């Protein structure tokens, strides 16, 4: 598997930021009873075992010469989505936002949500147009009401990330969700009226259309999505797959063709430039619904989202393997990390799908939950997401898939944005990041909403690392302290017998020393 490292100049840009000082008093004793010294020692031991490696590097330095060993990049991926590229209202805010990529974050998730990526059929939004520019967003009085809010054109984002040496993750290629992903023009424009009428009359239902072009995603889509899903579930209950396809053959043929075309088009544009993909997002529920079989051979899938192409999860990996290069990592991503998710990954691989990574999510959306956690009160949801015992159990289960793990979406909301509330968010984040970083198969962690009030509709407004005007919150300093201090190796070791030996976090290093004549020497090495 390929690793991409950020440059030294970018990596140290944040090294002068304020150090994080923890105020343990904002958390009740009951919280610290859960995150006790024994838990912390076990996390430290696992970090030492799984995130570090021994190195023996040949150098031309004379014996006894002091060699400075300085880590300049991580092998581990510390990421965030970059959905608000140039959208924050002023150049100063946008510059501070973009400066995080390559300093705090060495990986970025780029939005490829189909509904907004291809608002019109045959017209994917690769290139920047005026409505994608910083000038447009800086003058926009109502950014969250725009249909492409949090959905920048992909060309300028990927070009920017390449200049910063940042690893690029595409999200997602296939997802059945109708409010956020599937364009309604598939049904509206590519199912002939005669087929629509025949299907709806036969099932005695009305399948709604929706003007996705004029309506902001998520603002008006909830009621439409519920009506769409409900209508199709009624159709599914009345007819088997073979009978439904006979009523609307053109639609099902075009649906599958457009899914394949989407992957082919994106691969042709970015195949060599995007490092990994969420090939399929949030499909474990369907796997259980389909009798735990990835390949069934039916004419289409009766997904809980609505109609999907036949064996759509397996087929998506097949198309990805056909059009994308071997160097790209293929992720199976889900929030539903029960045993069915593990079984799904295994079944896909048993049928020949290339699943390189399994993805997990963790969204602590409710500010009241965060406040309760600070009091040491773990609800069922909070326990499952944030208690150290539950975290260990969750990732032990996911590891049974036998693949590296990407914690692909993280939300940790502050109870409020008071100094105490920000400290609560920072402490929850710090303990969880340490626990996640200690998981043997973990390969990366991706924070979701970097900036307050920039999430999707319904998501909390105070879950960012920065306020809406891009002022850093306490959680930013806590994260920077982990990534750029605690988890960066910097030491001095003596040369002996033409080499230096040391133990450090996996990643890229610069070794520097002075030779017998006082001349500065250096070399770079990767510790794996």
Residue 13 vs residues 6, 10, 42, 188, 465: alpha-carbon distances, Å: 12, 5, 32, 50, 17
Q: Which runs of E-coded beta strand occur in 190-322?
A: 276-281, 300-303, 306-309
Is a pLDDT exceeding 80 seen at residue 217? no
pTM for this one? 0.94
- Asked if 76 and 51 count as a contact pair (C-beta separation under 8 A), the reply is yes
pLDDT band at 4, cuts 50/70/90?
very low
pLDDT of residue 211: 57
The residue ranking higher by pLDDT, 80 or 209, is 80
Of 76, 151, 70, the residue nearest 107 (C-alpha): 76
- 69 bridge partner residues: 491, 511
Residue 108 is inside which H or E element, if any? strand 107-111
Residues 6+ apart with CB under 8 A from 66: 492, 493, 494, 513
Task: Give CA angle at 13 (165, 481), nearest 5°.
Answer: 105
- Asked if 62 and 505 count as a contact pair (C-beta separation under 8 A), the reply is no
Is a pLDDT exceeding 90 seen at residue 239? yes
Average pLDDT over residues 151-157: 98
How far apart are the C-alpha atoms of 506 and 495, rounded to whole Å? 21
How far apart are the C-alpha atoms of 20 and 114, rounded to whole Å? 39
In which residue are the tokens 């032990």 written?
A: 396
Residues 6+ apart with CB under 8 A from 422: 414, 473, 474, 475
Average pLDDT over residues 256-277: 97
Is a pLDDT exceeding 60 seen at residue 383? yes
How far apart are the C-alpha atoms of 144 and 150, rounded to whole Å? 8
pLDDT of residue 94: 98
Of 438, 373, 433, 444, the residue nearest 406 (C-alpha): 444
pLDDT band at 14, cuts 50/70/90?
very low
DSSP 124: -
Q: Which is it for strands 66-74 and 490-494: parallel, antiparallel or unpaired?
A: antiparallel
Residue 76 token pair: 């581990």
Is a pLDDT exceeding 60 seen at residue 229? yes
CA 486 to chain centre: 23
How far apart are the C-alpha atoms of 309 and 389, rounded to whole Å? 39
pLDDT of residue 221: 60
Is a pLDDT exceeding 50 seen at residue 36? yes
List pLDDT tens digits, range 447-461: 999 999 999 888 889
Average pLDDT over residues 436-453: 98
Least confident span in 27-31, 206-210, 370-374: 206-210
How far apart are the C-alpha atoms of 304 and 236, rounded to whole Å? 10
Mean pLDDT of the chain: 94
Domains and CATH numbers, the chain: 51-74+488-528 (2.60.40.10)
List pLDDT tens digits, range 514-524: 998 899 999 99
pLDDT of residue 17: 61
List pLDDT tens digits, range 128-137: 999 999 999 9
Average pLDDT over residues 392-412: 98
How far apart are the C-alpha atoms of 413 and 461, rounded to whole Å? 8
Percent of the chain scoring above 70 in pLDDT: 95
- Asked if 317 and 350 count as a contact pair (C-beta separation under 8 A), the reply is no
Of 383, 373, 362, 368, the residue nearest 426 (C-alpha): 373
How far apart are the C-alpha atoms of 35 and 269, rounded to whole Å? 46
pLDDT band at 164, cuts 50/70/90?
very high
Percent of the chain scoring above 90 in pLDDT: 90
pLDDT of residue 223: 78
Is a pLDDT exceeding 80 seen at residue 8? no
């Amino acid at each position: 598997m390929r690793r991409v490292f950020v440059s030294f100049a970018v990596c140290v840009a944040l090294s002068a930021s304020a150090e994080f000082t923890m105020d343990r008093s904002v958390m009740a004793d009951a919280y610290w009873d859960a995150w006790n010294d024994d838990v912390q020692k076990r996390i430290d031991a696992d970090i030492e075992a799984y995130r570090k490696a021994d190195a023996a590097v040949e150098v031309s330095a004379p014996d006894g010469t002091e060699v400075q060993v300085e880590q300049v990049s991580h092998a581990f991926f510390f990421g965030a989505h970059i959905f608000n590229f140039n959208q924050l209202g002023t150049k100063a805010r946008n510059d501070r936002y973009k400066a995080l990529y390559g300093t705090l974050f060495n990986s970025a998730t780029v939005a490829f949500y189909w509904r907004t990526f291809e608002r019109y059929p045959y017209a994917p939004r690769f290139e920047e147009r005026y409505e994608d520019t910083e000038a447009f967003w800086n003058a926009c009085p109502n950014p969250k009401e725009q249909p492409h809010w949090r959905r920048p054109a992909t060309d300028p984002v990927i070009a920017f990330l390449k200049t910063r040496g940042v690893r690029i993750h595409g999200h997602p290629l296939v997802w059945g969700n109708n409010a956020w992903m599937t364009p309604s023009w598939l049904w509206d424009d590519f199912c002939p009226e005669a087929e629509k009428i025949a299907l709806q009359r036969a099932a005695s239902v009305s399948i709604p259309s929706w003007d996705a072009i004029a309506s902001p995603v998520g603002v008006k889509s909830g009621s439409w999505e519920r009506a769409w899903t409900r209508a199709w579930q009624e159709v599914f209950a009345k007819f088997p797959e073979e009978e439904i396809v006979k009523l609307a053959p053109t639609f099902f043929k075009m649906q599958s063709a457009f899914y394949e075309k989407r992957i082919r088009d994106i691969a042709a544009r970015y195949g060599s430039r995007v490092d990994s993909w969420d090939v399929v997002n949030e499909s474990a529920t369907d796997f259980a619904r389909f009798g735990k079989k990835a390949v069934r051979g039916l004419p289409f899938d009766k997904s809980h989202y609505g109609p999907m192409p036949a064996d759509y999860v397996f087929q998506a990996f097949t198309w990805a393997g056909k059009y994308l290069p071997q160097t790209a990592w293929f992720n199976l991503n889900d929030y539903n990390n029960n045993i069915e998710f593990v079984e799904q990954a295994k079944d896909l691989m048993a049928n020949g799908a290339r699943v390189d990574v399994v993805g997990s999510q963790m969204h602590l959306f409710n500010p009241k939950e965060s406040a309760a956690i600070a009091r040491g009160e773990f609800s069922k949801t909070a326990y499952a997401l944030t208690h150290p015992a539950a975290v260990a159990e969750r990732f032990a289960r996911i590891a049974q898939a036998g693949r590296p793990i990407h914690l692909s979406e993280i939300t940790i909301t502050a109870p409020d944005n008071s100094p105490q509330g920000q400290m609560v968010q920072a402490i929850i984040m710090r303990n969880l990041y340490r626990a996640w970083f200690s998981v043997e198969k973990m390969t990366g962690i991706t924070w979701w909403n970097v900036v307050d009030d920039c999430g999707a509709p319904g998501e909390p407004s105070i879950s960012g690392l920065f306020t809406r005007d891009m002022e850093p919150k306490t959680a930013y300093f806590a994260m920077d302290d982990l990534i750029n201090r605690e988890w960066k190796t910097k030491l001095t070791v003596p040369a002996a017998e033409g080499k230096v030996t040391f133990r450090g976090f996996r990643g890229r290093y610069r070794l520097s020393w002075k030779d017998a004549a006082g001349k500065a020497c250096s070399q770079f090495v990767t510790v794996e």
